[in-house]
């Protein structure tokens, strides 16, 4: 095994730094900007919620029609208030058998 000290001027090191810069730039392009909350509330779109819950958008539409999910219709776009969805999921939570035995 050849142990030698590599310096920044070494072409291999310079090439490594160039490649790392390209990777960083590519990752910056892929980064999704965080949405700012509106009056402290975060809203989720139809497609985001369907991906998050792993259900189809058609199923979401059926849930809206049945009154399962609260939603807002703003200029033809459907959005959901994140805090209301979290509360709904908490309200629907069932205890496991282990938790029931402890009570």
pLDDT digits (tens, 9 = 90+) for 33-77: 666 777 788 999 999 999 999 999 999 999 999 999 999 999 999
Structural domain boundaries enclosing 72:
43-91
Residue 27 lies in a domain: no
| DSSP letters spanning the chain | -------TTSHHHHHHHHHHHHHHHHHHHHPPPPPPPBTTB-EEEHHHHHHHHT--HHHHHHHHHTT-S--EEETTEEEEEHHHHHHHHHHT----HHHHHH-
CATH number at residue 68: 1.10.10
Q: How many domains does the chain have?
A: 1
Q: Answer yes or no: is 77 within a domain.
A: yes
Judge whether 7 lies within some domain.
Answer: no
- For 89, counting Cβ atoms within 10 Å of its Cβ (0-12 exposed, 13-18 middle, 19+ buried), the class is exposed
Residue 82: pLDDT over 70: yes
The answer to whether residue 57 sits within a structural domain is yes
pLDDT at 26: 85
pTM over 0.95: no
């Amino acid at each position: 095994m050849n142990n030698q000290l590599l310096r920044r001027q070494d072409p291999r090191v310079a090439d490594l730094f160039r490649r790392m810069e390209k990777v960083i730039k590519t990752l910056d392009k892929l980064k999704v900007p965080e949405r700012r909350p509106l009056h402290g509330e975060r809203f989720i779109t139809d497609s985001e919620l369907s991906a998050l819950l792993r259900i189809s958008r058609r199923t979401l539409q059926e849930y809206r029609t049945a009154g399962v999910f609260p939603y807002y219709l703003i200029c033809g776009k459907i959005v959901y208030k994140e805090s209301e969805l979290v509360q709904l999921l908490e309200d629907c939570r069932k205890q496991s058998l282990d938790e029931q035995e402890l009570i």
